[in-house]
Structure 1
Amino acid sequence: MKPSVSSLYQAVELNQDIPPLLLGERCNPNGSKAFREALLAEDWDGCLKIALDQEARGAQVLDLCVAYAGRDEAADMQQLTRLFAGSCKAPLMFDSTSPETLEQVLPLYPGRAIINSINLEDGGAHLGRICRLAKKYGAAVVALTIDQQGMALTCERKVAVAKEIYALAVDKHGLRPQDMLFDLLTFTVGSGDETMRTAAMETLQAIRQVKQELPGVGFTLGVSNISFGLRPAARKVLNSVFLHKAIAAGLNTAIVDAAKVLPYAAISEEDRKVCLDLLFNRDPDALMAFIDHFETAVETVEAEGGRGILAEEALRQKVLKGDKEGLEDLLTTLRGRWRPLDIINDLLVAAMREVGELFGRGELLLPFVLQSAEVMKKSVTLLAPYMEKADDEAKTSILLATVSGDVHDIGKNLVDIILSNNGFKVHDIGIKVPAEEIISKARELQVDVIGLSGLLVKSALLMKDNLTQFQAAGLTQPILLGGAALTPKFVAQDCVPNYQQPVVYCADAFAGLKSIRAFEEGKLAATTWEQRAIAANRPGPQQEVLERSWSVPEVPFLGCQQVTDIDAEKLFAYLNEAALFRGRWGYRRGKMSKEEYAVLHRDTILPLFARLKSQVLEEDWLQPQVSYGYFDCYSMENQLVVQSESGEKRFIFPRQQSSPGLCIADYYRTAEEEGDKVGFFVVTIGAQLSKITQQLYADNLYHDYLMIHGLGVELTDALAQYWHEQMRIEMRIQQPQQGEMTAHVAQGYQGSRYGFGYPACPDLDAHLPLFELLQPEKIGVSLTESYEMVPEMSTSAIIAHHPQAKYFSV
């Protein structure tokens, strides 16, 4: 039987008919920055993507290394072994010198693996244990020619160490010669170190000699070591020429990034010559000749399908695709012929502008826009050390703030991401910013435009008041307004008249970007609104007639209680997936066909959701808790009077000014009708998840920031939905219908809940009497000076049990 290794899905021969067998090298935190970042973030799906990308580019075996300072190597290796085993067709090579780690992962792997590696650095102390494991589990073994004197540099020492390892592994521990893959080591010829001028020659000669003296063994090499320190485009050619010569010498497997190897026939005669001169030390000036040759060559990088494209086009594609893999090498290539600042202004900003145009046409979804922004941000970070001090005065500058009393920052942060990664200078001065501070900062920073954000109805009203203060203070900057409670009509009719400069409604971050560009072109104009009806001819509101003889349910207790032992996993059964996927995450169908969106849903959205759900639960990011209660009450016009041991509390609700003229107080009995009850709750999923999203934003991980923040907001709503159900059960009003927990399509139950701060009851001042009734401080929820709840991912509600109660806006 031919020597082979295997995965769950296929067997792969070690000796290919057309050598070498390619061993993918990118799943290694010490060699791949992308893999290191994914590993440190415990982004297991990200690690898997790197593995699958290598398979797609031709890797036949995947080298898996997780040893990194501060990490638990055994735990990480077990995690990824299970994941890779079920998802990768290519067999695995476990890159670890720890017998303890190998003992734990080899039994998990449903195939024949390779162990990388054994050596004699410790005199052979570990070699015996690893060889016994290899024999027990049928694994092949990579053997490095290292002994207690160090790494073997000359052919003579490489052969001697190989023979010594062979005697122990084969003759003593019973491995077969075909189970052995000798890595005879190679070192860079690009460093200028005189002792390394013959490094390639020593390795090639050692392969020939060991093959002759130890029949049946195989060989492998970390091919890219030969070119370490040289420019990326030059390395690719040198690696490919060296690999060709090593195969001729007897190499049958190679540890290499398959995407960075060229066919020998595709390399020009001129390129081959300078490589061979360097590898075989044919000329004392071979290294400088090699460097000069590739310094002046027109450099291309390999795109999908193997075709060469200009590095400039490759960078554009990376931005459009949100692909950070290999970005550092690509930018190093570009720095050879572009100033770093020109790369940013002429290449990156142009690509991000294209991203914005694609988003505007509905051809690119928000999650992918944020991945593009991550590429932009990382590129700027990588280029920064090479830039002269930039003159920022020429950049349009924007001051961003969430208005006083509003703790929500997701909208503001998205604007910051889009604007800053399109080349504008953004000053983000935070959340809960009073008008006086905005005025002061606008003057101090001399910004060109001011952008204000706010989520709640009260925030919209505060923006209107702020504009009056800005006018009185003499500000002259245009103002951009955004937030969920804003409408173009409100901005045009209530805000624009209060300020003499343009006041512009921005529906989203890209509307903000469009406005900034209009400002630069001198075309920014205030939002206008065409009145669509004549008020005098509009009929007055007709109030809906509500049933007044409904039966009031019994409540289990009067007063408040706290519940702190809620199973976090339960919340996912109440999660509104449509609102999460399409609303919070931005995975809307847009211009996609049903079939295309189904593929996106299956291959992107659901795996992402499954990964985050697992992470949220396994790492205990949720601490769901509730403070709730039931109280006697009666209604009086637009008020609900609630009776408690500490006295009466009054809640005042607005009434619709158009038909059917509803008000929440209408759903409760009057004092004359007697005997009604009201329920309230405050729920929170705790502060941990908010802290995690803040760190992701600080780390420029915009995609994960949006995904996890959106998941947290919807889980908060899921907790509210779950607890509303518990209260209906306690009151013995209509039980939840089958499918209620997941559908959210039809209400399917009696009564309704109304969140404070939202359209039917927008006044957050109502939190003062609510907190006096429920004492949610006991579950860690407090109020800001403007009556918003902290932690951010908390919500409150009043519960109406009236059979006709429904959600409505004022």
Structure 2
Amino acid sequence: MKPSLASLFQAVELRQEVPPLLIGERANANGSARFRSLLQAGDYDGCLRVGLDQEHAGAHVLDLCAAFAGRDETRDMIELVSRFARSARAPLMIDSTSPATIEACLKIYPGRCIVNSVNLEDGGETLRRVLALVRRYGAAVVALTIHETGMAMTVAEKLATARRLLDIAVGEIGLRPSDVLIDPLTFTVGSGDPALRDAAAQTLEAIRRIKTDLPGVHTLLGISNVSFGLAPGARRVLNSVFLHEAVEAGLDAAIVDAGKILPLASIPERAREAALDLIYNRTDASGRSPLERFIDLHAHSTPSAADSPGKPDAASPEQALFNCVVTGTREGLADEMAILLRRHPPVAIINQILVPAMRRVGEQFGRGETLLPFVLQSAEIMKAAVTLLEPHMDRAAAVKPVRILLATVRGDVHDIGKNLVDILLTNNGYRVYNLGIQVTAETILEKAREHHVDLIGLSGLLVKSALMMAEMLSQFEAAGLRVPVLLGGAALTRRFVAETCVPRYGAPVVYCPDAFAGLQAVQDLEAGRLRPTPLDARPPAPEAAAPAHRPEPIPHPEPPSPPPFLGVRYVSSIDLEAVLACVNEEALFRGRWGYRRGGMSADAYAALVASKVRPLYESLKQRLREERLADLKVAYGWFPCWRDGDLVHVRDGDRVHTLAFPRQAMPPHRCVADFFRTEADGGDVAGLFVATIGEVLGRRAREMLDGNRYHDYLLLHGLGAELADALAEHWHAVMRRERGVPEGAARGARYGFGYAACPGLDAHRAVFAMLRPESIGVTLTESLQMTPELSTSALVTLHPQAAYFAV
């Protein structure tokens, strides 16, 4: 019998008579905004319709994935597999990284399916667990050529990894070679990254080698990864041609949107040849890269109605400008603008082309179809276009009547979030007055009246900033202000805004969790539908009262070896490479830079990181080195101390400083002071440090913002913020080593002032009195914030039970 899959209704051979086996990709919470929204709404029948649509479009197998943050993946998959099993003729591909979810699905599916996927990323531990399930339930399995150090890039690496995967699956677990579908991974050739120019050709050759060197095994690819970053029409052509070449090389199965694959004969010969040149990295006599030629060929092609509903014809300058903004492409911008100025008034160009284009970008971001860095690239193009229009118009006429005042509240020096809001609002045509950081309520009231603003946006990072916003609203109310206020910042929650902030002010107060929520709020104001953030319809869980007695004391084992000194030291010769090694790349890429996976498949996101994000990171690290953007310095010390209830008394020579810490109102009622010994128990030693990366990087980032280089600003500022955290992590490790804590051991914790466990900044007075970090260029503002902004401070304890918590 030929290797096959099966549903309740039919068997499907893995190796099709006319290959490839087509696996529909749209019933996937990470690859389809429509499917994801249906899943979030609990519309399982709607999710089934997405799968059936793929079946009707020609898919032989349906990939099914319900992994989405905040949802119970196993429960969702059980619901979906049950429905798909009863209704879909096509067999399923169970797409999950959770062995528990995979087993739950395999138990209830009445046929033979594929499990997607396994790899060697963790050395094979998860691989072996999942393969054991695959064998127990008689399934097939997709194996990705990912090893312990990353994704296989070259033919030799892909083949070697495939061989290792097969050795474990067949030799150890007992599967048949035909049960395994090797995915040699393909990466985008549409990014312009020199390292990926031959990525498609490497993948095609790897397919040939796998088929000849590993007899009996099947091959599979996620086809659309090869075209990531290109325009929709160009992607469709490249995907179709690449699929044809992959089948010629021996590909057995392809994960695709079957309805968007074009017959090769329907693609014009010139477009087909350009796609082949790009796939095989072939240059012509002109010396232009195949990517340039391919993009140029498709730059003026007419998109389908689905790609560009209701827009002018793609060959027109109007559509070309629209596309420049949406794709963040500067090439040809000046020429298109020159033509358009002969056709339209400048204000019409802004309101009818540029603003709708930015709105399209915002919609794509909201659906998870684009990422924040690309949004900022689009904003740069919008800004450049407006700059070209300015000499030809009355500037006031081009600006929407809505005026917004933005400010980081008094006591806070962080402004990256507020600046992103400024960029989005300005480049959607609104008039923004950005007052900067540490702005008082009095200044906001004065400027709001001076500029007759329609909306005020307050921002702040720290817990104290959230309390300051509530206080400012009371001041606005007392002053008789009636302008709606938007609140944003990491420490805010919807509940805090609804319960604490909204009742203090007579005009709408709106919680904005991100920059795009701010833009939506302005649009709601224009449409007359802006409303205060409401209370959650569900009653909040009752909060326990603060404990009437202290919690059980934490035992204090013998401390590690004594510190090498008491007092303070200053360090300026810190190894940049050691600090870079502590950078949390996931926090940088996803959090600071906004390169989140969103709706992308795992392969597509990995390709994005490999082709675009990591090269950006490596380039910026080199700039750090060459331009000396980071001036790493630390003031730190060890000081005798003892606990007294919720207080820690710290001795510095003849003086004693007292640090007060809040205690949790809910169990386990923890307080930072708990991790230090009392005076009766012999006292303890507290570590303190202030660390900074200096002022240069922050100044350079500000220059980028002022120069409308929004994307570069986001990247450099984000790297600086993460580098400051990495310096704190590095120095925490240094202090642990000084006390004899073994390398890599996680004993103790560092508690940053202004954050979850000790949200107040009052302790900074004592910390600065003891460490005197003015010697390394760090000072305190009137509101006890540190400058330069990219500086950190912390209290260090080496108690083995010390953990991070919020009060």
Q: Could you tell me whether the CA contact under 8 Å between 1:456 and 1:758 is conserved in 2?
A: yes
Distance in 1 between residues matched to 2:534 and 2:617, nearest whole Å: 40
Q: Which of 797, 802, 805 is residue 802 of structure 2 equivalent to?
A: 805
Structure 1 residue 493 corresponds to structure 2 residue 499: yes
Structure 2 residue aligned with 1:447: 453
The alpha-carbon deviation at position 530 of structure 1 amounts to 2.4
Q: Secondary structure at the match of 1:764?
A: coil
Counterpart pick for 1:796 among 787, 793, 799: 793
Is the contact made by 1:349 and 1:422 (CA closer than 8 Å) also made in structure 2?
Answer: yes
**CA separation of 1:624/1:256 partners in 2, compared to 1, >3 Å: closer, same or farther?**
closer
Partners of 1:310 and 1:328 lie apart in 2 by 15
Q: Is the 8 A contact 1:544 1:661 kept in 2?
A: no
Deviations, residues 350-398 of structure 1 (Å, cap 9, x unaligned): 0101111111111111010000100100100011111135336852110
Cα pair 1:407 1:792 within 8 Å, conserved: yes
| Alignment CA distance shift 1:352-1:776 (3 Å) | same
The alignment status of 1:385 with 2:391, answered yes or no, reads yes
**Aligned equivalent of 2:407, options 397, 401, 406:** 401
For 1:548 and 1:84, locate their aligned partners in 2 and report how far apart those are by CA, in whole Å. 55
**1:324 equivalent in alignment to 2:336:** no
CA distance in structure 1 between the aligned counterparts of 2:637 and 2:731, rounded to whole angstroms? 11
Q: Deviations for 1:418-446, whole angstroms, at most 9, x for unmatched residues?
A: 11111111111111110000000000100
What is the aligned partner in structure 1 of residue 67 from structure 2?
A: none
1:712/1:389 CA distance change after superposition, 3 Å: closer
* 1:372 is aligned to 2:386: no
Residue 359, structure 1, aligned to residue 362, structure 2? no
Question: 2:706 matched to 1:698?
Answer: yes
Cα distance in 2 for partners of 1:565, 1:313 equals: 55
| Residue equivalent to 1:575 | 583
Give the drift of 1:762: 1.1
Aligned equivalent of 1:659: 667
Give me the whole-angstrom Cα distance separating, in 1, the residues matched to 2:659 and 2:610.
46
Residues 79-121 of structure 1 deviation map (CA, whole Å, 9 limit, x = unaligned): xxxx9999999xxxxxxxxxxxxxxxxxxxxxxxxxxxxxxxx
Matched, 1:522 2:535: no
Counterpart Cα distance in 2 of 1:393 and 1:749: 55
Q: Does 1:348 align with 2:354?
A: yes
Residue 634 of structure 2 corresponds to 626
Residue by residue, what CA displacement relative to the aligned partner does 1:10-64 show, whole Å, maximum 9, x if unpaired? Answer: xxxxxxxxxxxxxxxxxxxxxxxxxxxxxxxxxxxxxxxxxxxxxxxxxxxxxxx
Instruction: Find the partner of 2:489 among 478, 483, 490.
Output: 483
Distance 1:582-1:86 versus aligned 2 partners, 3 A rule: closer
Query: How far does residue 527 in structure 1 lie from its aligned partner after superposition?
Result: 1.1
Alpha-carbon deviations, 1:162-190, whole Å to 9, x = none? Answer: xxxxxxxxxxxxxxxxxxxxxxxxxxxxx
- Change in Cα spacing, 1:337 to 1:787, as seen in structure 2 (3 Å) is same
Deviation at 1:333, TM superposition (A): 1.7
Partner of 1:731: 739
Give the equivalent residue in structure 1 for 2:774.
777
Q: Work out the CA distance in 1 between the residues paired with 2:194 and 2:686.
A: 55
Tell me the residue number matched to 1:116: none
Q: Distance in 2 between matches of 1:387 and 1:260?
A: 35
Q: Decide whether the 8 Å contact of 1:544 with 1:662 is kept in 2.
A: no
Per-residue deviation, 1:498: 0.8
**Distance 1:418-1:670 versus aligned 2 partners, 3 A rule:** same
Secondary structure in 2 aligned to 1:553?
coil
3-state secondary structure, aligned to 1:579: helix
Q: Given that residues 553 and 732 in structure 1 are in contact (C-alpha distance below 8 angstroms), is that contact kept between their aligned partners in structure 2?
A: yes
Shift in Å, 1:536 = 5.9
- Structure 1 residue 736, shift from structure 2 partner: 2.8
How far residue 638 of structure 1 moved from its aligned partner, in angstroms, is 1.0
CA deviation string 1:714-756 (max 9, x = no partner): 00011000000000000112x232xxxxxxxxxx410000111
Give the conservation status (yes or no) of the 8 Å contact 2:398–2:429: no
Q: CA deviation at 1:257?
A: 11
Q: Retained in 1: the 8 A contact 2:643–2:683?
A: no
- Pairing 1:660-675 to 2, within 5 Å after superposition: 660-675=668-683
After TM superposition, give the deviation of residue 302 of structure 1 in Å: 3.6
- Please say if residues 747 and 798 of structure 2, whose CA atoms lie closer than 8 Å, have aligned partners that are also in contact: yes
- 1:754 matched to which residue of 2? 751
- Structure 1: which 5+ runs fail to align? 1-82, 90-251, 267-299, 738-747
> What is the CA–CA distance in structure 1 between the aligned matches of 2:726 and 2:395, rounded to whole Å?
49
Q: CA deviation at 1:525?
A: 1.0
Deviations 1:60-80 (A, max 9, x none): xxxxxxxxxxxxxxxxxxxxx
Q: Give the aligned partner of residue 461 of structure 1.
A: 467
**Residue 717 of structure 1 aligns to a residue in which SS?**
helix
Q: CA deviation at 1:544?
A: 6.0
Seen in structure 2, the aligned counterparts of structure 1 residues 397 and 84 have a Cα distance that, compared at 3 Å, is closer
The residue number in structure 2 matching 1:546 is 554
Task: Return the alpha-carbon distance in structure 2 between the equivalents of residues 514 and 664 of structure 1.
Answer: 40
SS at 2:756's partner residue? coil
Matched residue type, 1:653: F
Distance 1:360 1:770 in 2: 43
Selected match of 1:608 from 612, 616, 620: 616
Q: SS where residue 762 of structure 2 aligns?
A: helix
Pair member with larger Rg:
1
Within-5 A mapping of 1:148-167: none
CA contact (8 A) 2:573 2:633 kept: yes
Which residue is 1:74 aligned to? none
Equivalent position amino acid for 1:334 in 2: L
Return the alpha-carbon distance in structure 1 between the equivalents of residues 609 and 673 of structure 2.
42
Contact 1:301 1:311 in 2 (8 A): no
Letter in 2 for 1:670: T
TM-superposed CA distance for 1:334, in Å, is 1.5
What is the percent sequence identity of the aligned residues?
Answer: 50
Equivalences for residues 66-77 of structure 1 within 5 A: none
> Alpha carbons of 1:257 and 1:629: their partners in 2 closer, same or farther (altered >3 Å)?
closer
Letter in 2 for 1:383: L
Q: Secondary structure at the match of 1:451?
A: strand
Could you say if the C-alpha distance between residues 550 and 526 of structure 1 is closer, same or farther in structure 2, counting changes exceeding 3 Å?
farther
State the distance in 1 between where 2:536 and 2:421 align. Answer: 27
Cα distance in 2, alignment partners of residues 358 and 85 from structure 1: 28
Could you tell me which residue of structure 2 aligns to residue 414 of structure 1?
420
Query: Match for 2:499: what amino acid?
Result: Q
Out of 592, 596, 618, the residue aligned to residue 584 of structure 1 is: 592
Q: TM (normalized to structure 2)?
A: 0.61
Q: Which amino acid aligns with 2:606?
A: A
Letter in 2 for 1:526: P
Amino acid at match of 1:782: T
- Indicate the RMSD between aligned Cα atoms, in angstroms: 2.7
Could you tell me which residue of structure 2 aligns to residue 763 of structure 1? 760
Amino acid of the structure 2 residue aligned with 1:356? G
Give the whole-Å Cα distance in 1 for the aligned partners of 2:540 and 2:630. Answer: 51
Q: Contact 1:569–1:617 at 8 Å: present in 2 too?
A: no
Alignment partner of 1:315 out of 317, 321, 333: 321
TM-score w.r.t. structure 1 length? 0.61
Residue from 647, 651, 657 that aligns with 2:655: 647
Residue 626 of structure 2 aligns to which amino acid in structure 1? Answer: E
CA–CA separation in structure 2 for the residues paired with 1:679 and 1:84: 46
Q: Is the CA contact (8 Å cut-off) linking 1:392 and 1:425 kept in structure 2?
A: no
CA distance 1:363–1:393, shift in 2 (3 Å): closer
Secondary structure of 2:637's counterpart equals strand
Q: Which runs of 5+ in 2 are unaligned?
A: 1-191, 199-283, 304-312
